[in-house]
Amino acid sequence: MPGITNLPTDLLRTFIAVVELGGHSRAGAFLGRSQPAISLQIRRLEELVRVPLLAQEGRSIQPTPAGEALLSYAREMIRINDEAVGYFHRSDKTGVLRIGLPTDYAVAFLQSAITAFVQAHAEVELEIHCDLSRQLHQDLRADELDVIIAMMSNARMPYLSRAWIEQPIWAAAEGFHDTPKRPVPLGAHPEGCDYRARMIQALDSIERRWRIVYTGPGISGLQNAVLNGLCVSALTKATMLPGMRVLDNTDGFPALEPLRVGLFYKHPRLSAAGLQLVSDLVARLDSVGAGINPFPG
């Protein structure tokens, strides 16, 4: 159609590689092209979109604001392209795939998608690592994980594919009775957990005393501590269990600040199996729908 500008996938793939791998030389080595060839492709892409996409900051190359906007679209376009090619070529999906999930709700939120993937691709060895979100981000940057679900400290973060809002809720045993004159007994994950920080922030805002009575890295231990009436904690709807009830303002517990959560991966580093899992997770998120922002920002 006259007047329509097409963005070639090879140019978009090069742009993603330059940003995510940290420069023209690394992108060229990964894609099997010379540095001048990579630079030429970036210039061609900038001509098509009519704005500068990259800027030199010290010794590193960073995307411009326009580059950040294009990166979100480029990652989605390349993901869909590779998903389509994989469907028709029936690419072999083998190898080890390392997934990072936050301790806060571990496998519960996306368990069905991951379980379905394992059943459909028995030849793929899946490793699931549960940790605090900040550690998962570090592991992804260090290429120690392939795909992560993690809390976001900023609206825009590297390697982001999908973002959505998670609303933590106060959880207590059905028989729990609060005593306003006593400090609130809190159960939490170790220092650095976003849910822990939000509980403390909420109680401090109403000048309510609190004390940590249970600390543990796993979600099951925290759930048991709540069920046994030892403490109250911040959970999600996915991790609420029978025998628990929600505490709110009528109980003297102010609403907790929502959390932004994201799906992250380095596209150039991802195998065919990884790309398939990302597509499965994206489909799962899109089916849930609420609060999901496909393009960050």
Tokens, residue 277? 């899992």
Going by pLDDT thresholds of 50, 70 and 90, the confidence category of residue 125 is: confident
SS3 4: coil
CA distance 285 to 232: 29
Hey, which of 114-128, 161-175, 274-288 has the most confident mean pLDDT?
161-175
> How confident is the model over 160-177, as a mean pLDDT?
92
Domains of the chain: 9-78 (1.10.10.10), 94-163+261-293 (3.40.190.10), 169-251 (3.40.190.10)
Going by pLDDT thresholds of 50, 70 and 90, the confidence category of residue 59 is: confident
List CB contacts of 144: < 8 A, sequence separation 6 or more: 98
Cα–Cα nearest to 199, from 213, 22, 87: 213
The pLDDT value given to residue 194: 87
The answer for 217, left when phi > 0, alpha when psi is -120 to 50, beta otherwise, is: alpha
Going by pLDDT thresholds of 50, 70 and 90, the confidence category of residue 90 is: low
> How confident is the model over 159-167, as a mean pLDDT?
88
Cα–Cα nearest to 195, from 242, 133, 288, 108: 133
Q: Which residues pair with 185 in a beta bridge?
A: 211
**What are the b/e assignments for 37-65, b being 16+ CB within 10 Å?**
ebbebbeebbeebeeebbeeeeeebebee
pLDDT, tens digit, for every residue of 187-236?
A: 998 888 889 999 999 999 999 999 999 998 888 899 999 999 999 999 98
What count of Cα atoms within 13 Å lies in the side-chain half-sphere of residue 164?
18
